[in-house]
Amino acid sequence: MEKLESFKNLGLSEETLIALKKKGFEEPTSIQKICIPLLLKDQVDVVGQAQTGTGKTAAFALPIIETIDAKRNVVQALILTPTRELALQVSEEINSLKGTSPIQVAAIYGGQSIDQQIKRLNKGVQIVVGTPGRVIDHINRKKLRLGDLSFMILDEADEMLNMGFIEDIELILESTPKEKRMLLFSATMPKRILNLAENYMGKYEYVKIKNEQLTTNLTDQIYFEVLEGDKFEALSRIIDVEKDFYGLVFCRTKIDVDRVSHRLVDRGYDAEGLHGDISQNQRELIFKKFKSKKINVLVATDVAARGIDVSDLTHVINYSLPQDPESYVHRIGRTGRAGKEGTAITFISPSEYRKLVFIKKVANTDIRKEQLPEIQDIIDVKKDRIKEDISKLITKGNLEDFEQLAQEITKEVDPNQVIAALLKHVFQDELDESSYSPIKRISSSSSAASGVSVDRTGQNRLFVAKGKQDGMTKQSLVEFITQNTGVKGNLIDDVRVFDVFSFVSVPFKEAEIILNIFKKLKKGKLPLVVQAKPQK
């Protein structure tokens, strides 16, 4: 547990530290370092300004988990989010952070049976995560009682402002007790949000996390969509197809680092693993071997890779998707240095596509999809290298000691057979196609058939800043999109039209078409069509 000392120093309990270790967390983010101690020790409210993807959920969820009383069967924390996607995401994150705590969490949002949600609330929950409209519904039905509330959290307040929810939020706040802790998180702080803080919060601490410039210009960024079980095979193919591979492979947890690095060594690669449980002396030895290129593959966690300064990496491989866009940029920024272009490769499973879109959006970067090399492609590359290496040996000369033996052998045996025998003796294993395992191709239908969790079998959720107040119905919204983009109406699914906005689901390819066409069109200051909040 010593490697989570930085989390422990924030005042978190041993039980929470165990849950963090299981999730692979090794070091708190900037907003977590500031907010967690504030919320655990001081009785102040908090206004936090930080861009999406900086770890805000854990920053407020961990102190709530530590503070509320799991034995009291009443709602003690209410978290408001602008969308149902974010409500689900936050509730899932809290469940993963609470470890063995009996705390119960309920997500309530529009589009799900209200009766089902009422049953959940009647059973008793300590934390509710919900969208403003549905929360008001439950308050009016007297199914959501807030008299015992200790924490009130507004997550992504600026998004709720953009979506017209501020009046709903104020209505909800009027139903909460005066004596409570209130937390407000927002990427930007428009005047209306600050007014909300002034009117409804007591003495508060203002925490602002500096936005980092998320950019990397000298890195070619690629992603491959593979099943989780095929990632190692995909990694092997990437290493083999590159002539002079010299790269970092990032894994999320220490267990993954050990597993991947050991499998690489077993397959004959010059690889080592690096993570928080490795001693400083051993770490220095491994890094020395990597820097001198005695090993060309280093598998590491984000924390363990900090301080590694190598300017000539050819590749950074995201074996596991990073937790947030900042981590992605920090990872891939290790290649493309000293004026040399590097390559960043990310492996994603089908269910992670929306998270990748989120990273692309926040990091403002292009990550293009490619197909993994086929087995025959790799064999052909290896054969070309063998021919090239033999040509270099001939050019170098100094073959006199072997020429007489070569003449004697070729007098008795066909020279082609001699060369073939030598090639087989030296390169048989390397050119053996059976040393590679097949990689399953992924499509929407095969993903569903293989049990892969894909959101609506490979669909994207889009937010449209038009609703009933704009005269939109389900039919007219579909027509509006098809007329402007050419996307066929039968591909637009799960259309939900609300007062001032709507949601639609479309396949990934069509989503990119729609987003590209509508990215310059705005309703006020809000883009007309944007990606709905993805899972982080």
Give the strand order in the sheet containing 502-507.
Answer: 493-497, 502-507, 459-464, 529-531
Torsion of CA 151, 152, 157, 160, to 10 degrees: 140
The DSSP letter of residue 294 is S
Q: Identify the pLDDT of residue 470.
A: 86
Mapped onto helix, strand or coil, the DSSP state of residue 124 is coil
Does an H or E element contain 348, and which?
A: strand 342-348
Q: Identify the pLDDT of residue 448.
A: 36
The encoded tokens of residue 263 equal 């499998």
The tokens 């025998």 sit on which residue? 421
Q: Identify the pLDDT of residue 535.
A: 40
pTM: 0.49
Q: Are β-strands 151-154 and 77-80 bridged in parallel, bridged antiparallel, or unpaired?
A: parallel
**Which stretches within 228-352 are classed as H helix?**
231-241, 254-266, 280-291, 302-305, 325-332
The 10s digit of each residue's pLDDT in 422-456 is 888 877 777 777 777 778 776 543 333 333 333 43
Report CA-CA distances (Å) from 58 to 51, 128, 407: 14, 16, 73
Which residues on neighbouring strands pair with residue 271, listed in sequence order? 297
Q: Identify the pLDDT of residue 333.
A: 76
Residue 347 backbone phi and psi in degrees, to 5? -95, 130
The encoded tokens of residue 54 equal 């900086």
Mapped onto helix, strand or coil, the DSSP state of residue 481 is helix
pLDDT tens per residue across all 536 residues of the chain: 444 557 878 888 888 888 887 766 767 888 888 888 888 876 788 888 876 657 788 889 999 999 999 889 999 999 999 887 778 878 888 988 888 889 999 999 887 888 989 999 999 999 999 999 999 999 999 999 999 999 999 998 888 887 788 889 999 999 999 888 899 988 788 888 888 888 888 888 888 877 554 445 567 899 999 888 889 999 999 998 888 899 999 998 888 999 999 999 988 899 999 887 788 788 888 988 998 899 999 999 877 776 566 767 899 999 988 877 777 887 887 776 545 678 999 999 877 887 888 888 777 788 888 888 888 888 888 888 888 888 888 888 788 888 888 888 888 888 888 888 888 887 777 777 777 777 877 654 333 333 333 343 456 788 888 888 888 888 889 889 988 888 888 788 778 888 888 888 887 778 888 888 887 776 666 678 887 754 43
Does an H or E element contain 387, and which?
A: helix 375-396
Mapped onto helix, strand or coil, the DSSP state of residue 440 is coil
The 10s digit of each residue's pLDDT in 392-422 is 888 887 888 888 888 888 888 888 888 888 8
> How far apart are the C-alpha atoms of 316 and 313, rounded to whole Å?
8
Question: How many of the other CB atoms lie within 10 Å of CB of 446?
Answer: 13
The encoded tokens of residue 461 equal 């959720």
> How far apart are the C-alpha atoms of 329 and 308, rounded to whole Å?
15
Report CA-CA distances (Å) from 337 to 101, 214, 218, 226: 46, 15, 7, 28
Tell which residue, 450, 492, 493, 239, has the closest CA to residue 349: 450
Q: Identify the pLDDT of residue 536.
A: 38
The DSSP letter of residue 223 is E
> How far apart are the C-alpha atoms of 44 and 67, rounded to whole Å?
14
Does an H or E element contain 526, and which?
A: strand 526-527
Q: Identify the pLDDT of residue 119.
A: 92
User: What are the chain's domains?
Assistant: 2-208 (3.40.50.300), 219-372 (3.40.50.300), 376-435 (no CATH), 455-531 (3.30.70.330)
The tokens 């639609």 sit on which residue? 504
